[in-house]
């Protein structure tokens, strides 16, 4: 996958269009490059899945 696709998917996750984002092991490095530059990256929480998959969900910070 390319980085622009990850940016689109992360935005959809933040907007609530999708509830979770599943990243395969082969795509993790490219995803991480996009994720690490986000100002609110700590709100995107990953959970380890089977076979190296990571399931990310957006957790809004309460003020």
Mean pLDDT of 46-60: 94
Report pTM. Answer: 0.85
Indicate the pLDDT class of residue 62, thresholds 50, 70 and 90: low
Closest CA to 9 of 39, 35, 46: 35
Helices 3-15, 28-35: inter-axial angle, 10-degree rounding: 60
Per-residue pLDDT tens digits for 15-52 = 999 999 999 999 999 999 999 999 999 999 999 999 99
């Amino acid at each position: 996958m390319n980085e622009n696709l990850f940016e689109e998917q992360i935005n959809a996750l933040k907007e609530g269009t999708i509830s979770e984002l599943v990243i395969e092991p082969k795509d993790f490095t490219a995803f991480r490059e996009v994720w690490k530059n986000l100002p609110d990256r700590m709100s995107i929480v990953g959970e380890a899945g089977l076979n190296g998959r990571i399931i990310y969900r957006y957790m809004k910070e309460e003020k």
